[in-house]
Structure 1
Amino acid sequence: MIALSHIFGNDLVLTSGTLQTVSGTELTRQSLLRRLLTVPGNYIWQLDYGVGLPLMVGQIITPEAMESVIRAQVQADAGVDSSQAVTVTVTDESGGVCRCDVSYVDAASSQQQSLSFSY
């Protein structure tokens, strides 16, 4: 499947006068990041879509609770092989910053993939 390339929070990118597209593992990676950062209820066609990590900023939440909701949403993504284990580690990097490391198996390639970001 091919889709427009869009990193959550950024603009669409023009390449040689056309909108940049993405497919394969990068499409899944972008989809997962969008899912994790989307606030539940904001996607009107699927109200339970998203984790809403931005809403957790400034809140007192245990890493285990964050890991649990992230794991559930990653496994729900069509690009992830839901029969394989998803591992999530949330680490406090001090100064109010958390690092999130997600490991999953890509459904199309059957390859282990990782997604890491800080918020």
Structure 2
Amino acid sequence: MIALSHVFGNDLVLSEGGLQTVSSTELTRQGLLRRLLTVAGNYVWQPDYGVGLPLMVGQVIAPEAMESVIRAQVQEDANVDPSQVVTVTVTDEGLGICRCDVSYVDAGSGQQQSLSFSY
């Protein structure tokens, strides 16, 4: 599958006279990031879609609870192999910043993938 490249919170990107597209593992990575940053209830047709990590900014960091919610949403994604273990590590980096490391198996490629970001 091919889709427009869109990293959550950024603009669409022009590439060679058109909009940049992504497929395969990058499409999965962008979709997972969108899922984790979308606030649950913001998609009318899928009220349980999303973790809402931006709403957690400024709150007390509870790594175990955050890891559980992130893991559940990653496992829900159709592009993640449901038969493989998803690992999530949330690390408090101080000053209210968390680092999130997610490891999963891409269903299309069968390859182990990782997604890391701070918020």
Calculate the TM-score normalised by the size of structure 2: 0.98
- Distance, in Å, in 1 between the alignment partners of 2:94 and 2:113 is 26
Runs of at least 4 residues off by over 3 Å: none
- Distance, in Å, in 2 between the alignment partners of 1:95 and 1:55 is 16
Gaps of 5+ in 1: none
The alignment covers a number of residue pairs equal to 119
Q: Which residue of 1 aligns with 2:43?
A: 43
The SS at the match of 2:116 is: strand
Matches within 5 A, 1:103-114: 103-114=103-114
- Distance, in Å, in 2 between the alignment partners of 1:47 and 1:19 is 29
1:30 aligns with 2:2: no
Q: Which residue of 2 aligns with 1:68?
A: 68
Q: Which residue of 2 aligns with 1:81?
A: 81
- Distance, in Å, in 2 between the alignment partners of 1:83 and 1:57 is 32
Q: Deviations over 1:13-68 (max 9, x none)?
A: 11111111100000000000000000001112211100000001111241000000
Letter of the 2:99 partner, please give it.
Answer: R
- Using the aligned pairs only, state the percent identity: 83
Q: Which residue of 1 aligns with 2:14?
A: 14
Q: What is the Cα deviation at residue 8 of structure 1?
A: 0.2
Calculate the TM-score normalised by the size of structure 1: 0.98
Q: Which residue of 2 aligns with 1:92?
A: 92
The SS at the match of 1:113 is: strand
The SS at the match of 1:103 is: strand
The SS at the match of 1:60 is: coil
Letter of the 1:58 partner, please give it.
Answer: G
Gaps of 5+ in 2: none
RMSD of aligned Cα (Å)? 0.7
